[in-house]
């Protein structure tokens, strides 16, 4: 698709398979944008633990962005909270480097379901 359209700035949305560094690197190199969940392995798994701990502290301090929406009775409720930050990425072998936006969010409903499971 990228080769056929011969343009930069395309948006790619993918699942966990697109999260691979070898998949994201060529997209960044050709100045495209991607949205995909980050993998729960390797360095990202280690970083996620730190992001979670930092997010918990920021949440207690009221420093996270909050997203509210009305429930089925019309009352505003917290749908999610989180933050966004940038991190440096580098392709294997150091051939390409780029800055990636990371969005970390927490859904109270999902957290409750996860805890119950």
Cα–Cα distance, 33 to 12 (Å, whole number): 6
The structure's pTM equals 0.73
Tens digit of each residue's pLDDT (9 = 90 or more) over 9-51: 899 999 988 888 888 998 998 899 999 998 778 888 888 888 8
- Kindly tell me if the per-residue pLDDT of 68 is higher than 90: yes
Confidence of residue 2 (pLDDT cuts 50, 70, 90): low
Q: Is 15 helix (H, G, I), strand (E, B) or coil?
A: coil
- The rounded radius of gyration (Å) of the Cα atoms in the chain is 17
Could you list the beta-strand ranges (E) of 9-111.
Answer: 11-13, 33-35, 65-70, 76-90, 97-106
**What pLDDT score does 7 carry?**
82
- How confident is the model over 75-86, as a mean pLDDT? 92
Tens digit of each residue's pLDDT (9 = 90 or more) over 81-102: 999 999 998 887 777 899 999 9
The residue ranking higher by pLDDT, 59 or 82, is 82
- Kindly tell me if the per-residue pLDDT of 1 is higher than 70: no
**100 token code pair:** 């990636």
Cα–Cα distance, 37 to 13 (Å, whole number): 10
């Amino acid at each position: 698709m990228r080769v056929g359209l011969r343009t930069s700035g395309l948006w790619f949305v993918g699942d966990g398979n697109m999260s691979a560094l070898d998949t994201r690197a060529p997209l960044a190199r050709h100045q495209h944008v991607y949205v995909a969940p980050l993998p729960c392995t390797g360095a990202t798994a280690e970083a996620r633990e730190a992001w979670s701990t930092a997010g918990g502290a920021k949440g207690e301090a009221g420093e996270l962005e909050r997203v509210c929406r009305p429930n089925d009775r019309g009352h505003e409720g917290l749908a999610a909270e989180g933050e966004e930050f940038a991190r440096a990425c580098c392709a294997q072998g150091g051939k390409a480097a780029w800055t990636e936006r990371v969005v970390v969010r927490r859904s109270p409903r999902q957290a409750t379901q996860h805890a119950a499971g």
